[in-house]
Structure formats: structure tokens, C-alpha cells
């Protein structure tokens, strides 16, 4: 795996260590020692005050990886082994929340947004003081200004008023990354995610420099069911092609080695999405509707539901590739549990609306499981799929892929359709979508919307790094000969 920061290393290593203990049937017996082994007595923790704080953070980071969160702690003296027992013995996942904020890790972040630096010249104008609406500016004996943070409301007026640019804005990374202002500090200075606003894009998770935001994982629910002999089928997102540096047949062989009874590509479901969405688009345009947007990105659907409801009439009613792939899997294996595997956090929300999908695993989790179970990709028995999807269906993994697939499917009919790509749900693009909903007009008749810049291949829970993943995906797509053009 190509790690881009230490937070990713921590997340990967911790889950791999937990899976390693689970494989040896030692999770309950030895998990209590894990924080001590990860942060020995003489070690020097990075960014923490002491080794004991670091051990506490390790402990609490284990909870979401076992499908729990901070609300499950009713007594600080409860050992990790008790939480491990709960994780392995529970019948069903009952957590409603998608994310978990680790209190102990989050407490290290900045508590203020503005600070006056030594660049302050103690000028006579005192613009910061004169313009502050809360009288929060004070002065030192040498004339330099300072901010009374008990009074300051972080409005930023002083920052904009200072002629010397001596007042700096200090962002809270997770808050800065969130495009819908769904995350903010509570009364204790700990970040809280408002589920009524959250679109589960996952931007906050990777923006947090202390790794305090975790997905509530279902990894052990899946592994335990496999161990008990339940039939589990993996439906794998198209962006799998950019995740592991080996042939896709060896990757699917690794899934079989984990214990999955079968592997079905979500690209097969993407072909149903393509055909249905193409026909729906033509119908909508014939009816006089100005434009239609895609519907396969669950973060975008959450955005529309929670923040731009007036856009709903313009969103395609076609199901996502996961939706159709799950039904293909259920038809083939009616007695199996279906596990979607992909790079997306928001899919955890989507499956709660889809009775055909039971669990979620991310590519990041798959990478940790493979390490924890000591499965070497190159040494696995290759597993080839019977059904071959067209290149364009696998192309759903990248920005422009849905748009490209629909146009390829429509062939000459696509020439009269003007398409628009909105890649990355940020404040600017949200404003664009809101304007389209308000006016009923858009620069394109068919609008593809992806929450992640670059598409699913750059999702928040990928295994490979973004640059390598994109390059690998493109190379694999070029090798695929089956296309809408040569398929009758």
C-alpha cells in the first residue's frame, strides 16, 4: 500500500493487528495488551503528551474497528477484551451512526480559529480593536494586540482589518474539509458530526491530522459469519482495478481465500444502470425537462435529500450499480449474505435503504484483512469471473465514466445531448447545483455528479494512493476489448 500520511498507516496497522489476533482466535485473550505493545514504555509518542495518552488513543481507536463507538463505553475501567467479546458475539450490527469521533484523539486539535502573531506592530490605527464587534482585542505592555479567546467568536473581522496581515486564520482541518458544515466542536471542544447534515463524503476522515475520525466498521461481523460457515458473496466496485498491484484474477482469488463463496463485479450492475439511465434521459428530454443528473453517487443523493431538495425532480430514478449487482448476486445465491466492497463511506448509508445488501467492506479494510490473515496476493489461486462486463461499465470508477458509458450506449443518439461533469462535491459545486435547481436550467442536459474529485478511484477509503490508483485503472481499462461499440 502507498501511504500518503501516518494516519493511514495507523488505521491500516491497527485493523491488521486486530485481524491477526482474530485469525489465531486470540482477539479476546490478547487485545488488552495491544495498546502496550504498540506504545511500549520507553517509546516517544508523536503528537501526544505521554505514552499513557497514546495507549488510551490506541484503545479507543479499536472500538470503531470492532463496530463500536465512544457511546458504548459506560465505564472507563472496562477492558478492550470485553468490547472484543461483544463484537464477536453480537448477532446484528445495531449502530445507526456511520462515523465515530475518538474523543481522546480529537482533544489535540486547535481550539481557536484566529491568533495574533509577532508581526503585529502595535500600530496607532488599531483597526482590529476598532472593528471587533465583541471587544475581544486586548493590548500588551509593548503595544502589541492579543485576542481574548473567552470573548472572541471567530468572526474574522480582525483578520480582514489588520494592515500588516499579522492576524492568522487557523483552520480546524475536518471542519474546513466538510462541504456542508456538518461537523463542529461541542461544549467540550470535541468535534461532533451532525447526521442531519452529513452527506458521508468522508472528506473529514482523511483531513483530520490526528486520525480521530473513523468509520464504524463491519469487518468482524463479516469475518465471524465466514468463520461460522455462513455463505458470503462479495460484490466488488469497479475501482478495484486500481487498488492492488497484481492481476485482478489474483485479487479475486484473495477474496476467495478470505472465505467469500463468490465474487461478482459491480460493473455488471453498472451495465443495467447505463441502459436504464440512458433510456430515462431520452424520455425526460422528450417530456421537456431541461436536464437530468446521475444518481449512482450516494453522497450526492444525501446532498440532494438534506441540502438541495428542490433538485430531486432532476435526479435520475435509476438505481446505482450496487443496487443492480446485489440483485444479480441474490438471484445467483439466494441463500447468501451480500457484501459490497468499495472505496466509499456513503455506501454504508445506501445499504440501509437496500434490503439486498447486508454488509460493507472498504478497500482499505480489505488491505488490512489481507495483511492480518497473511494472504499474499501473488500466491493466491486466480479466480476468473464467468461474466465479462464492457469497458465502459468498469469506467464508472473514474470521473466522466457514467457520462461516457451512457453516451457510448446511446451511440449516434448521444450526439445531440450536451453533457456536463461535476466532479468533487465542494462549496463551489454545491452552489452550482443549487442554482440549477432554483432556475431549472443547466449548462448541460445530462449532468454527472461525483462526490470525490476524480471519481470513485479517489474515494476516502481506497487502498492505493490516488496517483497510482488512477494510472493503474486507466492501464487496465485500455486492456479491455469488450465495449458497447463492438457488443451487439
Q: Hey, which residues does 310 pair with through a beta bridge?
A: none
Return the closest-CA partner of residue 252 out of 382, 120, 139: 382
Domains 6-108+174-220 and 113-170 share a fold: yes
CA 341 to chain centre: 12
Q: Hey, which residues does 262 pair with through a beta bridge?
A: 233
Sequence-distant (≥ 6) Cβ neighbours of residue 36 within 8 angstroms: 55
Output the CATH code of domain 6-108+174-220: 3.30.70.20
Question: Domain extents for the chain?
Answer: 6-108+174-220, 113-170, 231-479
pLDDT tens for the 488 residues of the chain, in order: 445 566 777 888 999 999 999 999 999 999 999 999 988 988 877 667 788 888 988 999 999 999 999 999 999 999 999 999 999 999 888 788 999 999 888 876 777 789 999 999 999 999 999 999 999 999 999 999 999 988 998 899 999 999 999 999 998 999 999 999 999 988 888 899 999 999 999 999 989 988 899 999 999 999 999 999 999 999 999 999 999 999 999 999 999 999 999 999 999 999 999 999 999 999 999 999 999 999 999 999 999 999 999 999 999 999 999 999 999 999 999 999 999 999 999 999 999 999 999 999 999 999 999 999 999 999 999 999 988 899 999 999 999 999 999 999 999 888 889 999 999 999 999 999 999 999 999 999 999 999 999 999 999 999 998 899 999 999 999 999 999 888 75
- With 0.85 as the threshold, say if the pTM is over it: yes
CA distance readout (Å), 340 to 145, 344, 366, 392: 55, 10, 11, 20
Sequence-distant (≥ 6) Cβ neighbours of residue 253 within 8 angstroms: 377, 380, 381, 382, 383
Cell, residue 145: 494586540
* CATH class of the domain comprising 113-170: alpha beta
- Helix (H) / strand (E) element for 467: namely helix 466-479
Return the closest-CA partner of residue 222 out of 60, 357, 63: 357
Cell, residue 52: 499513557
- Say whether 364 sits in a helix, a strand or coil: helix
Gap between the Cα atoms of 294 and 148, Å rounded = 49
Gap between the Cα atoms of 203 and 107, Å rounded = 19
Amino acid at each position: 500500500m502507498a501511504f500518503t500520511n501516518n494516519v493511514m498507516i495507523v488505521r491500516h496497522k491497527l485493523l491488521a493487528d486486530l485481524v491477526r489476533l482474530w485469525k489465531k482466535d486470540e482477539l479476546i485473550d490478547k487485545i488488552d495488551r495491544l495498546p502496550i505493545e504498540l506504545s511500549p514504555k520507553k517509546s516517544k509518542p508523536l503528537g501526544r503528551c505521554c505514552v499513557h495518552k497514546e495507549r488510551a488513543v490506541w484503545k479507543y481507536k479499536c472500538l470503531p474497528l470492532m463496530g463500536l463507538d465512544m457511546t458504548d463505553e459506560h465505564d472507563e475501567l472496562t477492558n478492550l477484551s470485553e468490547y472484543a467479546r461483544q463484537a464477536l458475539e453480537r448477532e446484528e450490527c445495531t449502530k445507526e451512526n456511520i462515523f465515530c469521533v475518538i474523543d481522546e484523539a480529537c482533544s489535540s486539535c486547535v481550539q481557536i480559529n484566529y491568533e495574533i502573531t509577532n508581526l503585529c506592530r502595535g500600530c496607532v490605527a488599531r483597526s482590529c480593536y476598532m472593528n471587533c464587534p465583541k471587544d475581544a482585542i486586548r493590548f500588551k505592555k509593548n503595544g502589541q494586540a492579543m485576542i481574548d479567546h473567552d470573548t472572541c467568536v471567530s468572526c474574522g473581522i480582525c483578520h480582514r482589518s489588520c494592515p500588516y496581515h499579522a492576524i492568522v486564520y487557523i483552520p480546524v482541518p475536518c471542519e474546513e474539509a466538510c462541504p456542508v458544515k456538518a461537523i463542529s466542536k461541542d461544549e467540550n471542544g470535541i468535534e461532533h458530526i451532525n447526521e442531519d447534515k452529513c452527506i458521508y463524503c468522508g472528506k473529514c476522515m482523511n483531513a483530520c491530522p490526528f486520525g480521530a475520525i473513523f468509520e464504524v466498521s463491519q469487518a468482524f461481523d463479516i469475518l465471524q459469519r465466514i468463520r461460522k460457515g455462513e455463505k458470503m458473496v462479495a460484490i466488488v466496485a469497479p475501482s478495484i482495478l486500481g487498488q492492488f498491484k497484481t492481476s485482478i484474477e489474483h485479487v479475486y482469488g484473495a477474496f476467495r481465500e478470505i472465505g467469500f463463496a463468490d465474487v461478482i463485479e459491480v460493473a455488471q450492475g453498472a451495465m443495467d444502470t447505463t441502459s436504464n439511465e440512458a433510456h430515462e434521459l431520452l424520455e425526460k428530454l422528450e417530456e421537456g425537462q431541461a436536464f437530468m443528473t446521475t444518481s449512482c453517487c450516494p453522497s450526492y443523493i444525501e446532498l440532494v435529500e438534506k441540502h438541495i431538495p428542490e433538485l430531486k425532480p432532476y435526479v435520475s430514478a435509476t438505481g446505482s450499480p450496487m443496487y443492480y449487482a446485489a440483485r444479480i448476486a441474490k438471484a445467483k445465491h439466494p441463500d447468501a449474505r451480500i457484501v459490497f466492497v468499495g472505496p466509499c463511506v456513503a455506501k454504508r448509508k445506501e445499504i440501509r435503504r437496500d434490503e439486498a445488501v447486508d454488509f460493507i467492506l472498504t478497500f482499505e479494510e480489505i488491505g488490512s484483512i489481507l495483511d492480518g490473515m497473511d494472504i499474499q496476493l501473488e500466491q493466491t489461486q486466480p479466480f476468473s469471473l464467468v461474466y465479462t462486463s464492457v469497458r465502459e461499465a468498469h469506467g464508472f470508477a473514474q470521473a466522466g465514466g457514467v457520462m461516457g458509458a451512457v453516451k457510448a450506449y446511446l451511440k449516434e443518439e448521444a450526439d445531440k445531448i450536451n453533457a456536463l461533469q461535476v466532479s468533487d462535491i465542494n462549496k463551489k459545486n454545491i452552489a452550482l447545483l443549487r442554482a440549477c435547481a432554483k432556475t431549472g436550467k443547466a449548462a448541460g442536459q445530462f449532468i454527472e455528479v461525483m462526490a470525490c474529485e476524480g471519481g470513485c478511484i479517489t474515494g476516502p477509503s481506497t487502498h492505493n494512493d490516488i496517483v497510482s490508483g488512477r494510472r493503474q485503472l486507466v492501464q487496465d481499462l485500455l486492456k479491455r476489448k469488450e465495449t458497447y461499440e463492438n457488443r451487439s
